[in-house]
Amino acid sequence: MIRVKSILTAFALAVSAAFAFTPAATAQGTKVVVIDRVQIFGQSQAGQDIRTKIQAIETTMQGELKPLADGLTADGASLQTKSEGKTQEAVRADAALMSEIEAYSRKANDFERKRQIAAQELALTERKALVDFNNALIPVLREVVAENSANVILDKSQVVFVDDATDVTQSAINKLNASTPTVAVVRQSVPTQAAQQ
């Protein structure tokens, strides 16, 4: 369920918004530094902490759904055995079997609804954790910009070539590790109205 690519896309937009280009930044004398957002998220203690916590939340969600999935599997196998060798007309004529099939269908629909809610909750949890990560990173990037007398930060993915002196990724990681080694990740809930749909 974890979608690191979507996390990084959202992260890219949030960082870009915080360091938007200004007309003055395009003038001569502009100093540009480069960061690698993927590397910062992947190698920082906060990014690793987020991934570990989200994976734990996902495991918990899967554990909550497993008894329902196991029950559906057992019920499905039982229904398969009971309807084996019967025509569709014979199955429809068997009131007790039809009642079991309808109950199975309701359970399957309920399971699918719960699975979708869990997926939405995981996505909300990832999004909230990313916002918190970004909020911790912004002051670090401002500090890196000030230290390097820079006017602009670009992401390495937007640059054709960068020399090592211009790449301040490791400095950002070190400062983020010092200021924010962990990020609180709390399982988010789908709003009640959305969960009922």
Residue 35 CA to residue 54 CA, distance in Å, equals 25
**Domain segments of the chain as ranges:** 4-196
Q: What is the pLDDT of residues 49-84, one digit of tens each?
A: 999 999 999 999 999 999 999 999 999 999 999 999
Residue 87 CA to residue 65 CA, distance in Å, equals 33
pTM: 0.77
Q: What is the pLDDT of residues 73-127, one digit of tens each?
A: 999 999 999 999 999 999 999 999 999 999 999 999 999 999 999 999 999 999 9
